[in-house]
Amino acid sequence: MNTKIFCDIAELNQIKKFGQKKIVKGFTTNPSLMRKAGAKDYKSYSKKILKICNNKFVSFEVFADDYFNMKKQALQINTWGKNVYVKIPVVNSKGVFMGKIIKELNNKNIKLNITAVYTAKQTQRILKSINKKSKVIVSIFAGRAGDAGKDPIPEIKKSIALSKKFKNVEILWASVREPYNYLQAKQLGCQIITVPPAIIEKIEKFGKTFYRLTSDTVKTFLEDSKKSKFSI
């Protein structure tokens, strides 16, 4: 499986830098990343991202919590560019499944990234709400599931199996915690993984032997002990 790497970031200097990397095929953002990046005006900041992303795919998330305003934001975000995916949470803050808006936007041929997914049952509900033509990404939050002591692998496996009949659907491994997650995503058959910049740089350095890793580790310990001028 050729798993595409997206960069999970909203900082402009990082998007400009990673947009030039061949290994990076797109970007994912969310309201939290936008806030962390210092965005004040959501639309104008998003437009800045689109100017420097090297025409790669970018997911922008709605931040409304009700159907009417969520739909209004989604329709507007969709006009920002042909490389834009509109991110819709699988449920709102009250736990209500967003199937109605997912279906409506999907039928309008709007590219969707359904986010905050954790279970195969949620994936199944999404698949029942969409057609088999318009592009849809299902983002499964593997890392956050692991943080809560849950094994995300069975849910990802089931989600991939459920989506086999949908050539327009891609399963995305989200909330990466370590470089090895990329290899796990490839082994499982995820079409996409979205990765923070620091971990992408580690993935680019894959290939060291265990012997080389041992040697480099010991050298680091030695260098740090010398810098600290340790003595016993």
Give the span between the Cα atoms of 156 and 142, in whole angstroms: 8
Residue 88 lies in a domain: yes
Residue 69 lies in a domain: yes
CATH number, domain with residue 197? 3.20.20.70
Domain with 12 in it? 4-205
Task: Determine which helix (DSSP H) or strand (DSSP E) holds 209, and give its type and residue range.
Answer: none
Instruction: Specify the pTM.
Output: 0.95
Q: How does DSSP classify residue 91?
A: B
Residue 130 lies in a domain: yes
Domain total of the chain: 1
Per the listing, tokens 């470089």 go with 179
Q: How does DSSP classify residue 97?
A: B
Taking only the tens of pLDDT, the chain with its 232 residues reads 799 999 999 999 999 999 999 999 999 999 999 999 999 999 999 999 999 999 999 999 999 999 999 999 999 999 999 999 999 999 999 999 999 999 999 999 999 999 999 999 999 999 999 999 999 999 999 999 999 999 999 999 999 999 999 999 999 999 999 999 999 999 999 999 999 999 999 999 999 999 999 999 999 999 999 999 999 9
**CA-to-CA dists, residue 20 to 30, 53, 66, 156, angstroms:** 21, 8, 37, 30
Residue 213 lies in a domain: no
Residue 221 lies in a domain: no
Q: How does DSSP classify residue 3?
A: P
Specify the 3-state DSSP secondary structure of 130. coil
